[in-house]
Amino acid sequence: MPALIMLGVNIVVGAITLGFGLFLTWPLCAMVGWSRAARHNKLLAQGKI
């Protein structure tokens, strides 16, 4: 779900700023992806998934 939210944010920001806003949102997307992957891996290690 967070990936879809970030996709929507990127589309809106990219359209409004003609692509220049993506310099800010793209690293943010990478951080969101990292945090979600880390959370998923932690749950796997604990055997909760």
Segment 5-48, tens digit of pLDDT: 999 999 999 999 999 999 999 999 999 999 999 999 999 999 99
> In this structure, what DSSP letter does residue 15 have?
H
Q: How buried is residue 10: exposed, middle or buried, by Cβ count under 10 Å (0-12/13-18/19+)?
A: middle
pLDDT at residue 4 is higher than 90: yes
Under 8 Å between Cβ of 15 and 31: no
pLDDT range class, residue 49, cuts 50, 70, 90: confident
Q: Please calculate the CA angle 9-42-26 and round it to the nearest 5 degrees.
A: 20
